[in-house]
Structure formats: C-alpha cells, structure tokens
A = this chain, B = another copy of it.
Amino acid sequence: MTLIVAFDRSSSKDGKEVIGTISKICNMVSGVKLGIPLFAKHGATIAREVREVCRNNMIIADLKLADIGDIMISTAEVLLPHVDAFIAHSFIGREGALDDLKSYLDSRGSKLILVASMSHKGSTEVYDKEIDSIASVIKGINPWGIVAPATRPEVIGRLRESLGKEIKILSPGVGVQGAKPGVALCNGADFEIVGRYITNSSNPVETTKLIIYEQKRRLDKCRR
C-alpha cells in the first residue's frame, strides 16, 4: 500500500466525526497523518482515539517539529503512546536539535521523518536554496523517511538519487494542491499523502478507492 491519508481539522467539539471517517478507511491505507490544527484543538486525545480505531496503521504526528531538542523531545514524550512516527524539519540542523530527537526516538522504538522540501511555492524562497545542506543533515541523521513534494517531482528524483534506496519518501501535495495520484510514486516516492481531496469529499471511502485505482494505473504505465 502506498497511500497515507492526512487529517488536519475537525468541525466538532470532540473531533468524533474525524474518528468516524478514519475508522472507515484505515483498512484501505498504509497510514494516517494527523496535522497541527487537530493537536492544537484536541491535544493528545485525538491521537489516542485514532490509535483505538486504527490498530494496524502507521500513525504519524505531523507537528512539523522545528524547535530545540529539549522541546521536541517533550512533545514526542506526550504522544509516544499513541503514534508511530514524528515529522520534523531538516532546516533546524542537528546539534542541539535533530541529533537529540533522533536518539530519543531510537531509544523508544519510534520513527523520525524529516521534511526535505515543501509543497507550496514559497519553499523555493529559502528552503530549496539549501537543498545540499538539507541533504547533508538528512544523511547525518539517517531518519526512517523524508517528506518531499509531489508538486515538484523533480525534487523527489534528486533526493532519491542523493539519499539512496533505503530511506522512505513520503509525498504530500496530491489532490487539492495539484499533483496527480501516482506521479510522485513514478518519480521515486514510497507513499503519497492525500488530505483534503479525501477529507472534504462527500464520500471519503469511494474517493480513497478512486485514488488507489489511479495510483495503480499510473504506476503500471510508468513501470512498463
């Protein structure tokens, strides 16, 4: 399976409608990624409840951690019982930040995923200018996976080449942000991340099926 569904917001006080939707699709996907607005509203509760309905999925806390080591570790400590992986930014560097977080997560058997580049246009203003320094931070940390944008598949190709085959590449930007399902996979990604296209759909289960079908169709083509 190559699809991760991103849930970023809830419309109810307790987020129960999010849990309802997740429970219907988690057997169809690899993982569930939970965004900052959900944590800002519900705290650890939302992750605990997602864990209860999706016992066999990878659950990713996407807080885009970008703080000093001490703060990132305290954040991970709170969510470790409920999630399998944490997303942090490469941009903050290793010493006193990612080195500390990586050691901590390793010691707890949890995964680190580092953002290498982002899906919005502003990523080229600063982030992408430092792609070589970022690649060097990633090589030094050796995380389980990285995040690279489906909206700019050439970046995925360059990162795959520079970082080797072991590292997992997760690609957001599929759907509402414009990338077609399967394009990032054809360019070297391991997972595509889809958020609003599924969560805003009137029938999230059917939309998820459709995306999986589209991924396979494109993959079959590009692998020929």
A residues with a Cβ closer than 8 A to B are: 8-9, 35-37, 39-46, 61, 63-69, 71-72, 74-75, 77-79, 89-99, 118-127, 129-130, 133-134, 137, 177
Chain B residue at minimum C-beta to C-beta distance from A132:
B126
A123 lies within 8 A of B92 (CB): yes
A94 lies within 8 A of B8 (CB): no
| Cβ–Cβ < 8 Å partners of A61 in chain B | 40
| Cβ–Cβ < 8 Å partners of A79 in chain B | 40
B92 lies within 8 A of A127 (CB): yes
Chain B residue at minimum C-beta to C-beta distance from A47:
B40
B123 lies within 8 A of A75 (CB): no
A26, chain B: closest CB distance, angstroms = 21
10 nearest CB pairs, A to B: A93-B122, A96-B120, A43-B43, A93-B125, A37-B74, A95-B121, A95-B122, A97-B122, A41-B78, A126-B133
Provide the bound-state CA to CA distance between A114 and B126, in Å: 14
| Cβ–Cβ < 8 Å partners of A63 in chain B | 36, 40, 63
A-B contact pairs, 8 of them (CB 8 A): A8-B74, A36-B67, A36-B72, A43-B46, A68-B120, A91-B127, A96-B122, A126-B133
